[in-house]
Amino acid sequence: MMGFKALVMEQQGDAGAVAVLRDLEISALPEAEVTVAVDYSTLNYKDGLCLSAKGGGLVRNYPHVAGIDFAGVVEASDDPRYAAGDRVVLTGWRVGEAHWGGYAQKARVKADWLVPLPQGLSTRQAMAVGTAGFTAMLAVMALEDHGLTPEKGEVLVTGAAGGVGSVATAILAARGYQVAAVTGRPETADYLHALGASRIVAREELAETVKRPLEAETWAGCIDAVGGAMLARVLGQIKHGGSVAAVGLAGGSALPASVIPFLLRGINLLGIDSVLCPFERRKLAWARIAAELPMAKLESMVREVGLGDLPQLGADILTGAVQGRVVVDLNK
């Protein structure tokens, strides 16, 4: 195995860490069972934090390679579950945070963290999906596990122009749901309609802190990437027995809500954790992604970049300036 290129976060004194393109030897990789030649990675909100000067509170040790997900081909394995030539995908397990991640042409990780790539899904498509799309599918699965069907009414998606929201909108629409997409950027309306949104809801309509614990029953379910006051407001608008899948906190981690919607309408607030999701659930989610996500719509979300573009894009995603999905070509 040859040396490889990597975007390495290096500590620069009190100023914090900076991203530097380096040529590394295989011996620089951490110890683990499986070595992967990485084809593609992607950019998520957590990656933006890890690429910041202070590591967003997620990175403890430097030098460090960020990138919380990747897809590629196994080069070597000490675990019988994987052999050279196998195509694999990795999301979560604090890779890219506590463990070196996907912003390098090579990665070495635990076999338990990998999932075989489903037939029909390329490594590039897997990273067009990435952690964001994987999380979106977990959210759809959780809502349906709790009784959501298209016949029950509109499903709200907050932060709809972001990574999770974009894929969630496309998946729900493909499954026959009427999707109401929430965005604070009016210029994304055409993009969201193309993904399958049946209507656009201005963020301002839901951003105000809840004043009444119950409002009109409006949404059969919701995938919420915002949290904070918006999530509190949405809880009071969910139909009886409906559910909200919480996937993010772009609007804050506090929840100024009442228990009344839970007690009088029997609604469910479902936490979606993609980081420590068990293997069998992961495998099912990836199989459903391969079968159900419209790939033409997926491609319409994608912007392809190289390692050198990531420092600026990492800053951009933290301010909400990144639309859709960013795919990182490790050989670009």
**DSSP secondary structure letter of residue 130:** H
* CA separation for the pair 102, 117 (Å, rounded): 16
Q: How many alpha carbons fall within 13 Å on the CB side of residue 91?
A: 30
- pLDDT value for 41: 98
DSSP three-state, residue 241: strand
4-117+301-329 folds as Quinone Oxidoreductase; Chain A, domain 1 (3.90.180)
Which pLDDT value is given to residue 260? 97
Each residue's pLDDT tens digit, 64-104:
999 999 999 999 999 999 999 999 999 999 999 999 999 99
Element (H, E) at 42: strand 34-42
Q: What is the pLDDT of residue 1?
A: 64
Query: Token pair of 268, please?
Result: 């469910």
Low pLDDT (below 50) residues in the chain: none
Which residues make Cβ contacts (< 8 Å) with residue 14, sequence separation at least 6? none
For residue 196, the SS3 value is: coil
Q: Are 52 and 315 in contact (CB under 8 A)?
A: yes
**Statement: 131-271 belongs to CATH 1.20.120.1200:** no
Q: What is the pLDDT of residue 250?
A: 84
- Alpha carbon separation from 195 to 45, 94, 173, 329, 331 (Å, rounded): 21, 30, 8, 24, 29
Structural domain boundaries of the chain?
4-117+301-329, 131-271
CB-CB contact of 70 with 127 (8 Å):
yes
